[in-house]
Structure formats: structure tokens, C-alpha cells
């Protein structure tokens, strides 16, 4: 909130937080998710057609890099499934890849083997397959978080973690209205963070632990004397706490280097680069954060499905 309120730097007293790059407490508030929301899903060039919505979200997330998306738009115009052409998209990405990285370093997605000589061209083929396999229609007919997750996980090179992340991104759109407190999948970073917090006994119950943290967050804030207003009144949800455990793992690599996780990673990749850019947060309109002066009702979890069977 210090940055949103244009308060002067530094925005943290903790030297580790000041030196290294961490994501926002709320997943939807991190820099890339904010771009996805503001420009890809609800932006001026966006289309409301389900095919275009799914295509735009998944294309952006396959690369997860703002500069790659901006280059595609600049050279091809509005990014839409209805006007998609493999050769045109491939040429733009070929040229972009010749001048620098076109993928984000946030997570590495293995290339599917779909007959193309370049990783990005195979990802375009993967996206074609997903679209022609009818994912937009499946979302329209049975678009719960677990169902969409299971279909995404069935595609080549999309594992548990990416399938969950893509499902949450699709759920930001108007095509889905899943409750983020119904479903979570712990990624590798979150499992590392949970292990560092709770020890080896946490193995295989990571989603239950994330659910416990969400359910008891207010009592623990009270117990610790912490004032936490949430995201304009919206409390932490399962996906947020999944991300938080990932950031705990990163923080502990520096603060507690002797505490072992699962992966054995011992350093933080990226340093924090401060910016004075003015931030104006934007969130899915269906959350009603703006319409109700930043206050959203606390959602109730339906059932106890925190992760789907694999």
C-alpha cells in the first residue's frame, strides 16, 4: 500500500525485503497479474468472445512476459483467436527471440514436442491444440475450478502447478466464477516454504495446511497483534497463501540458510529494482472491490475440496 499511496522509498524496513524481489501478498496484485487483468482480460483491445478470452489469457501466460505480449500486439494488432495465424505469430516471436528472452524467469514451462524446431513455436501449436480441443466450450458447460484444472493438466507439458495457475488466471475473466477458497494446488516453492515452517511432517498435506492458514488467518493476526486489512477488505484466499509460502521459502533462503526445504535451492534469483511508477490497482469487477469502496464480502468455502485428485 505504501507504493500505491505514492509514499517515498524505501517501502520496507527489512533489509531482505529491500534487497530482493518478492511478489505481492495477493496474487492478483503482483505486477504481471495486474497487466493481465488491466490489458489482456479487460483492456481496450480485449474481446468478450469466449474463444478470444481463453486464447488471450493462455497466450499471455505461456510466455508470462509483458514485453512479448506488447510486441505481438504492436506488430499484429488485436490478439484474437478469430484472426490467429500460426506463421504470422511465429515470425514475430522468432524475431523477438533473436533479440532477447521472450519468456519470464518466474517459472519455466518445458516445451511440448509438437513437431516444431523452436520452443515458442511448439507452444503456439500447444495453444492451437487446446483451442481446437474445445476448452472454451468446456469452461462454458462445466467450468468449475477443478474441472478446468483437470482438462488443462491433460495437455502436453502442463503439469499440476501450471494447470492450477492457468485455471486461476482464467477465473479472473467473466467466463468463470469459481470460488478461490474451494481449490488449491501447492506448487514446488510453496511446498518448500511449508516444509521450512512445519517440518517433514507436512509432506503430502500441503493443501490442507494452506487451507488451515486461510481458515484461521484472522485469529492468528489477532494473536500476533497484527493489523491486516486485506485487499481493500478482501481476506487472503487459498491461492494467495499458496504464493505466500513460496515467498516464505525465498525469504528463508537468506534469513535462515540452514533450514532445509525440499528442492535445496539456496539463493534468490532476482534483486529488487525500485520504481517510482504510479500504480493504480485493478481487480476483477466481479469482486466488487471498487464498486463498494474497497470492501468485499468474505466468501464462504463450499465443501472441503482444496486440491483435486491427480
Mean pLDDT by 10 residues, the chain (310 residues): 58 80 91 95 90 98 97 97 97 97 83 94 98 96 93 96 97 96 96 97 97 97 94 96 96 93 84 69 89 41 40
Residues 44 and 156 in one domain: yes
Which residue, among 156, 46, 276, 278, has the nearest Cα to 60 in the 3D structure?
Answer: 46
8 falls within a domain: no
Has residue 51 been placed in a domain?
Answer: yes
Are residue 165 and residue 232 in the same domain, yes or no? no
209 and 133 in a common domain: no
The answer to whether the beta carbons of residues 194 and 213 sit under 8 Å apart is no
Answer yes or no: do 139 and 46 share one domain.
yes
CA distance 173 to 23: 22
Q: What is the largest CA-CA distance in the chain?
A: 58
Question: Within this chain, do residues 150 and 37 fall inside the same structural domain, yes or no?
Answer: yes
Instruction: Tell me whether residue 299 is in a domain.
Output: no
Total domain count, the chain? 2
Residue 102 and residue 48 share a domain: yes
Same domain, 233 and 139: no
Does 141 lie in the same domain as 105?
A: yes
Q: Are both 152 and 61 inside the same structural domain?
A: yes
Residues 205 and 161 in one domain: no
The per-residue pLDDT for 277 is 65
Does residue 100 sit within a domain? yes
| Residue at 242 is within a domain | yes
**Domain residues for 221?**
183-287
Residue 69: the pLDDT is 98
Domain boundary at 144, 171, 198, which? 171
Quick check: 274 and 154 in contact, CB under 8 A? no
231 beta partners? 234
CA-derived radius of gyration, the chain: 20
State the SS3 of the chain.
CCCCCCCCCCCCCCHHHHHECCCCCCHHHCHHHHHHHHHHHCCCCCCCCHHHHHHHHHHHHHHCCHHHHHHHHHHHCCCCHHHCCHHHHHHHHHHHHCCCCCCCCCCCCCCCCCCCCCHHHHHHHHHHHHHHCCHHHHHHHHCCHHHHHHHHHCCCCCCHHHHHHHHHHHHCCCCCCCCCCCCCCCCHHHHHHHHHHHCHHHCCCHHHHHHHHHHHHHHHHHHHCCCCCCECCECCCHHHHHHHHHHHHHHHHHHCCCCCCCCCCCCCCCECCCCCCCCCCCCCHHHCCCCCCCCCCCCCCCCCCCCCCC
Compute φ and ψ for 231, nearest 5 degrees. -95, 85
* 147 in any annotated domain: yes
Do residues 238 and 184 touch, judged by C-beta distance below 8 A?
yes
Amino acid at each position: 500500500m505504501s507504493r500505491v499511496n505514492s509514499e517515498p522509498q524505501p517501502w520496507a524496513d527489512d533489509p531482505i525485503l529491500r534487497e530482493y524481489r518478492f511478489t505481492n501478498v495477493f496474487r492478483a496484485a503482483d505486477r504481471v497479474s495486474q497487466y493481465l487483468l488491466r490489458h489482456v482480460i479487460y483492456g481496450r483491445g480485449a474481446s468478450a468472445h469466449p474463444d478470444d478470452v481463453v486464447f488471450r489469457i493462455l497466450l499471455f501466460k505461456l510466455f508470462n512476459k509483458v514485453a512479448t505480449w506488447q510486441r505481438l500486439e504492436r506488430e499484429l494488432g488485436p490478439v484474437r483467436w478469430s484472426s490467429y495465424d500460426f506463421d504470422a505469430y511465429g515470425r514475430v516471436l522468432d524475431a523477438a527471440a533473436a533479440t532477447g528472452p521472450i519468456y519470464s524467469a518466474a517459472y519455466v514451462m518445458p516445451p511440448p514436442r509438437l513437431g516444431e524446431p523452436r520452443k515458442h513455436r511448439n507452444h503456439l501449436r500447444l495453444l492451437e491444440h487446446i483451442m481446437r480441443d474445445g476448452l472454451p466450450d468446456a469452461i462454458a458447460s462445466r467450468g468449475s475450478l477443478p474441472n478446468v484444472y483437470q482438462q488443462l493438466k491433460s495437455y502436453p507439458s502442463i503439469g499440476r502447478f501450471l494447470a492450477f495457475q492457468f485455471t486461476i488466471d482464467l477465473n479472473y475473466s467473466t467466463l468463470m466464477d469459481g470460488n478461490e477458497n474451494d481449490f488449491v494446488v501447492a506448487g514446488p516453492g510453496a511446498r518448500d516454504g511449508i516444509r521450512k515452517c512445519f517440518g517433514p511432517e507436512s509432506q503430502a498435506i500441503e493443501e490442507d495446511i494452506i487451507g488451515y492458514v486461510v481458515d484461521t488467518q484472522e485469529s492468528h493476526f489477532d494473536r500476533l497483534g497484527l493489523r491486516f486489512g486485506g485487499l481493500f477488505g478482501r481476506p487472503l484466499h487459498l491461492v494467495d497463501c499458496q504464493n505466500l509460502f513460496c515467498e516464505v521459502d525465498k525469504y528463508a533462503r537468506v534469513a535462515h540458510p540452514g533450514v532445509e526445504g525440499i528442492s535445496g535451492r539456496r539463493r534468490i534469483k532476482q534483486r529488487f529494482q525500485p520504481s517510482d511508477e504510479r500504480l493504480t490497482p485493478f481487480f476483477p469487477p466481479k469482486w466488487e472491490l471498487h464498486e463498494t469502496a474497497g470492501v468485499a464480502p468474505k466468501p464462504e468455502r463450499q465443501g472441503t475440496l482444496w486440491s483435486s485428485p491427480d
